[in-house]
Structure 1
């Protein structure tokens, strides 16, 4: 770097009050259903690392904490696309792509499946939802880094070790989280870790109340975004020198975000406008303008006052006047009652989720001190009033810059001495299917088989190693014991053991996999011991297994005296829980050896 470049770097660093000792730059990405945002900080610069949210976006002079999560591909060249605020037309753009990353999530009644079907039809013929997510993330990251470079100077940016953190819904399946990671890495977002959205929101929000919180206090974080609403409850374990929190009950959530309001608004318009005119209107400029007005004005301003009036412009719609419905001169007068009817079913779902969390905390013998509403929908005045109405006596807070709370909290999670979540509460049962000695009572009606090595009658049963509500310390090791055999002269392929990890969301996990439709494959684990020293295995000799099976079945055998030498392999599959993901490894005799690959399917 030349003298002039050094001077430029020093000026840029001095302007931001960033000293040359700062080595790390954390870039946090909130990839949302309807809007996405970026925040960044310098962890070496306490107390807040110069925490900043990106507010300038391409194609617009309006500054905002987030950009629309939309993509539109060029039908003449599928390799080209526009994203976010660069889109000037709402026609044929892809929205809600994040929801498609987790098809296991059930849609609420007020979100028609046809909406997502229509979205799928807009995907280029060679792209999956994950590919589209990658394209959007790549553009989002490139813009974010260019903004940081503008603020810092590119030469100064090159001095920092950049690490990324992305937020994901708490209720997402592990497969969806893995798909998000893969999409991020394909977009050049690496190294990257994941954090649960409500946890990120908690780390940001709690800074505004930490002086009032004492050990034993419980707070509920309600992250109400565009696609999902997630809730997690935290108990303050330690207040100083820094806050330590633990999840007190399993997090909950549902796909009841504010995108449901947009769809309900569209349904109301369809009911308002005569069917012979709707087909033309729904794809018109007037529909685009009306949707934008609802999104940017009415949703934000509605406070619950039934006397409020909103005038929705329908330019060029050429609609007949229907005075009794408020439709006059290509303008629709929406009353507060009209808007309330759109909001109420969605608000009711959110109130139910909050009530469920509060009651779960109460069953633990605790009381909720505060409810934090964060996210775009969490900024709604009407939502706040309804939560206050239902939960009198509990402080309901909307932190400053609530829309950027997740991105900012995700960045803060990498700050030293910041509030930290020490443990999580399992939201699913996790286990494996294994063979057990057949029991005519327990295994009645279940298929049985004879063990290859023992000749004993066996049946498959579930062995649940983690159950819903288990309090799991960060980075604690949960060990799943396995006992396998290898031929004396085994190959590398022989030395890869396949195991299926299952999960279940039933309150009580079943003994047999066939007893519940909610027992799902979480992932398939491939444990490779090909490079493990043979000293870690035990050499054994046994009678030929077929002879034992024949003998057990009552048939004469001529091979009882035949012997077979094999290797006995005893190992633990180890699971560690981070904020949002599971990490897998394997141990033999307490030593980490071999490797484990997890493969997820959606």
Structure 2
């Protein structure tokens, strides 16, 4: 009786709470086919999962129980799993299940953004590969949650998913991501929340700072140093209580200088130094790369590490004092290791310094997150290179900051009181607007642009009315509207659809008044007018200056900006017709 009562109570409670799941689907950069070596783990990127309950809003990451190839990984646990797939006659292998030196599909996320995936063979599309990988990730998530919560409880709790995407991704790439995630089973109870990767990282990192050291008006640079890219963005604190609120201080920047390039340099170093030695093969390279990727790269710091050098296993190679090979180990000198790290670290420093220099606010600190952001040497070099007034911090759990931040943002969407950090405004990356044709005004418009419009028997001119201009603050949840009137000749019969193009311009420093070569169509909104009643349609009839009768329909386009997407809604005669998730602002 007590057990039945307990289950009933849990079931009731389950209906009142939610599970928030964050997924950091990793793979930002590939390596050109011509640059591939025999090592198939070079440049591996990883995916992570975190989750939380609205009743217990602390993030938990899946850091163990990943399906693995025990011969290769010996049951190791990690916060993330390799973003890799392999198809065999027996089925599909993914992540840690794939043996070290066999070919595999990797970097297929690039294909969603229009890039070409670097994979063995081209028979699998980026969408199908992503769907298969996310399906495996989702199956493992559900298995883990069932182990943690129990099958009966899991069935009663609705799940909402938050998926991270690069801030620079296009609308097409994001739509493909949503489609593949849906096919993989990540549907949940509501619309999936797309989250900007650097914004998610900032949410987690800023929340973890010592609240006693924060002041309203302080500005920070968030440096998300990942596998392929380093993304930077600046924020300013505007409120400390009851929750931390920030605004984007300046548009972000980034570069291709992530830790994948360290892997590449290390592989090139080994191949050049001992690649001609008898017994050297792809398997030895893969083992050496694994130690570099999982141990040396994270721990390397000249001031604290082994001053005698670093060793990697090279079993089977003959002793060679000149090369530093002794008893199956290769000694890499501190100078050699510095030569591997320094060019990549120098590029990161240049990016960070550039972000600080272009900011119109005084930068108090740099927050390092991401896998490469955990590196001690990067932190030391930044501290030495930057002004002493700029503090360099490494928040805890830097490698999982993005996925943890995604969960925090999802909790805030599910219940406003759970929002730990509020991003109150962002800086628009582009100009966004719609084209209108107002009456020509010589004080506002260029003479050469005007044309005679017989319908109105006066001069009109094509212009762009902008929702938001590049660099302006964008507030989430604050819709912007632009009104328009669209005419349909009554002589042509009942109108079937109403179309409206949304334009953007990422090139022009100042938003142009008239369309030019920099202004391009971003997305087309379409309203199906078949459901409009004859009575409503009749009320729109009117006669223009040309003496002809038109259906004159008043409407507006509404734009709402979010972390990693923009929602456009076309409204006509006070009826909302179409919603499109468009390109990141």
So what's the TM-score if we normalise by structure 2? 0.82
Deviations 1:300-349 (A, max 9, x none): 12114594522233445x6x887655467875432233222232332223
Does structure 2 retain, via aligned residues, the 8 Å contact 1:5–1:155? no
Cα 1:83–1:27 shift into 2, 3 Å = same
Counterpart for residue 404 of structure 1: 400
Counterpart for residue 390 of structure 2: 394
- How far is 1:102 from its partner? 2.4
Counterpart for residue 66 of structure 1: 80
For 1:96 and 1:265, how far apart are their aligned partners in 2?
20
Gaps of 5+ in 2: 28-44
Deviations 1:74-125 (A, max 9, x none): 3x58xx421111112342112222333324xxxxxxxxxxxx86x4442551
Matches within 5 A, 1:571-582: 571-582=555-566
The counterpart of 1:169, out of the listed 149, 166, 171, is 166
- How far is 1:568 from its partner? 1.9
For 1:487 and 1:217, how far apart are their aligned partners in 2?
58
For 2:459 and 2:575, how far apart are their aligned partners in 1?
34
Cα 1:261–1:498 shift into 2, 3 Å = same
Cα 1:37–1:227 shift into 2, 3 Å = same
Greater shift, 137-146 or 91-100, is seen at 91-100
For 2:454 and 2:315, how far apart are their aligned partners in 1?
76
For 1:527 and 1:154, how far apart are their aligned partners in 2?
44
Matches within 5 A, 1:194-343: 194-208=194-208, 209-272=210-273, 284-304=282-302, 307=307, 309-316=309-316, 326=324, 331-343=329-341
Does structure 2 retain, via aligned residues, the 8 Å contact 1:586–1:593? yes
Greater shift, 190-199 or 30-39, is seen at 190-199
For 1:530 and 1:315, how far apart are their aligned partners in 2?
74
Does structure 1 retain, via aligned residues, the 8 Å contact 2:46–2:83? yes
Pair 1:593 & 2:576 matched: yes
For 1:410 and 1:224, how far apart are their aligned partners in 2?
17
DSSP-derived class of the 1:252 partner = strand
DSSP-derived class of the 1:594 partner = strand
Counterpart for residue 485 of structure 2: 483
Counterpart for residue 108 of structure 1: none
Counterpart for residue 360 of structure 1: 358
DSSP-derived class of the 1:248 partner = strand
Cα 1:487–1:235 shift into 2, 3 Å = same
For 1:492 and 1:36, how far apart are their aligned partners in 2?
52
Counterpart for residue 105 of structure 2: 94
Cα 1:315–1:461 shift into 2, 3 Å = farther
- Aligned pair count reads 545
Deviations 1:341-378 (A, max 9, x none): 232332223222222332233x1xx3222221111111
For 2:511 and 2:308, how far apart are their aligned partners in 1?
50
The counterpart of 1:83, out of the listed 86, 90, 94, is 94
Deviations 1:527-562 (A, max 9, x none): 444435664873233577xxxxxxxxxxxxxxxxxx
Deviations 1:377-415 (A, max 9, x none): 110101111221122222221112222222112112214
Does structure 2 retain, via aligned residues, the 8 Å contact 1:32–1:225? no
Does structure 2 retain, via aligned residues, the 8 Å contact 1:22–1:42? no
DSSP-derived class of the 2:96 partner = helix
Gaps of 5+ in 1: 104-115, 545-562
Cα 1:494–1:207 shift into 2, 3 Å = same
DSSP-derived class of the 1:476 partner = coil
Deviations 1:476-529 (A, max 9, x none): 11224433222427778731314153341454455666545xx55433333444
- How far is 1:63 from its partner? 2.1
Does structure 1 retain, via aligned residues, the 8 Å contact 2:171–2:582? no
For 1:204 and 1:330, how far apart are their aligned partners in 2?
43
Does structure 2 retain, via aligned residues, the 8 Å contact 1:541–1:565? yes
Counterpart for residue 32 of structure 2: none
For 1:301 and 1:530, how far apart are their aligned partners in 2?
65
Counterpart for residue 60 of structure 2: 52
For 1:594 and 1:489, how far apart are their aligned partners in 2?
25
- How far is 1:584 from its partner? 1.3
Pair 1:584 & 2:568 matched: yes
Does structure 2 retain, via aligned residues, the 8 Å contact 1:532–1:593? no
For 2:93 and 2:357, how far apart are their aligned partners in 1?
45
For 1:9 and 1:374, how far apart are their aligned partners in 2?
43
For 1:121 and 1:189, how far apart are their aligned partners in 2?
25
Pair 1:36 & 2:47 matched: yes
For 1:281 and 1:543, how far apart are their aligned partners in 2?
85
CA RMSD of aligned residues (A): 3.7
- How far is 1:70 from its partner? 1.2
Does structure 2 retain, via aligned residues, the 8 Å contact 1:525–1:598? no
- How far is 1:155 from its partner? 0.4
Cα 1:522–1:328 shift into 2, 3 Å = farther
Does structure 1 retain, via aligned residues, the 8 Å contact 2:15–2:157? no
Does structure 2 retain, via aligned residues, the 8 Å contact 1:374–1:403? yes
Counterpart for residue 427 of structure 1: 429
Cα 1:217–1:457 shift into 2, 3 Å = same
